[in-house]
């Protein structure tokens, strides 16, 4: 979640707002080889608005929630700067159990909610979606669902496909490698990729995948898929 705080100013007016960006303003990469985040034509004003708000002096406050961190925020954010970012981690087992119970599950075993929480990295939307699917496909039997060993399907696949289709060829190849090799060493990416690209482009692609909330860094120099 990106949080924008306005700088102190003489202006006595105070405004606040919450803006949710589910990715609809983000376009598919126009350059299939090079990693980049672009806006759909006509939505460029969205980025200009964020940049102006982050650079101007005012007493307003905007909270922006998004799966993908806009480049304008990445350039302006900092620990002691008016623009701050908070990366939300997944829900814990207790919260995951609560969501499942709210979907109509009477008794959720701790090991079942733990496994679902881990499979979906604590993503509340995915836990809600899988809860509905378990009710409809498995008559509420969580254990039977877990035995299928299928994590991405239905509405969850649609959500991820929409985001995956926006990636460049380089970003997609990195995702494929991480799907086959969890906790992959960043230094070995250049050797394993089918594309012959510079280390600079690889680092840029990895950075963007992290901004898109698709991969996580594990320890020093190791990467893994979030889902």
Query: What pLDDT does residue 1 have?
Result: 37
Domain boundary (25, 52, 85) is at: 85
Segment 168-182 shows an average pLDDT of: 89
Q: What is the mean pLDDT of the chain?
A: 81
Domain that holds residue 6: 2-85
The SS3 of residue 115 is: helix
Write the DSSP symbol of residue 122.
T
Percentage of the chain lying above the pLDDT 90 cut: 32
Q: What is the pLDDT of residues 2-47, one digit of tens each?
A: 444 333 334 434 445 555 555 555 545 545 455 566 677 777 788 8
| Whole-number Å distance between alpha carbons of 187 and 27 | 29
Within 13 A of 95's CA, how many CA atoms are on the CB side? 12
| Whole-number Å distance between alpha carbons of 106 and 114 | 16
Phi, psi of 27, deg, nearest 5: -95, 160
Query: What pLDDT does residue 96 have?
Result: 95
**Residue labelled with tokens 């949710």:** 20
Q: What pTM, to 2 d.p., does this model score?
A: 0.73
CATH of the domain at 173: 1.10.10.10
Tell me, yes or no, whether 8 and 67 share the same domain.
yes
Segment 194-222 shows an average pLDDT of: 86
Q: In sequence order, what are the beta bridge partners of 39?
A: 26
Count of domains forming the chain = 3
User: For helices 124-138 and 154-164, what crossing angle results, to 10°?
Assistant: 140
Question: Residues in the chain, how many?
Answer: 227
Tell me, yes or no, whether 80 and 45 share the same domain.
yes
Write the DSSP symbol of residue 153.
-
């Amino acid at each position: 979640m990106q949080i924008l705080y306005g700088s102190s100013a003489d202006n006595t007016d105070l405004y606040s707002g919450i803006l949710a960006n589910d990715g609809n303003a983000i376009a598919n990469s126009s350059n299939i080889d090079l990693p980049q985040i672009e806006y759909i034509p006509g939505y460029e004003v969205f980025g200009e608005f964020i940049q102006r708000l982050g650079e101007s002096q005012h007493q307003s406050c905007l909270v922006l929630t998004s799966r993908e961190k806009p480049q304008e925020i990445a350039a302006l954010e900092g620990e002691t700067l008016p623009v701050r970012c908070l990366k939300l981690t997944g829900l814990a087992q207790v919260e995951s159990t609560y969501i499942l119970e709210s979907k109509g599950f009477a008794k959720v075993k701790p090991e079942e909610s733990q496994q679902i929480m881990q499979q979906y990295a604590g993503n509340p939307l995915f836990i809600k979606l899988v809860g509905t699917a378990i009710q409809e496909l498995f008559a509420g039997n969580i254990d039977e669902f877990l035995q299928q060993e299928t994590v991405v399907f239905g509405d969850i696949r649609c959500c991820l496909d929409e985001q995956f289709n926006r990636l460049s060829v380089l970003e997609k190849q990195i995702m494929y490698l991480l799907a086959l090799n969890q906790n992959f060493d960043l230094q070995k990416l250049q050797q394993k990729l089918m594309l012959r690209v510079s280390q600079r482009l690889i680092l840029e692609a990895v950075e963007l995948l992290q901004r898109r909330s698709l991969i996580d860094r594990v320890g020093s120099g190791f990467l893994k898929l979030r889902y």
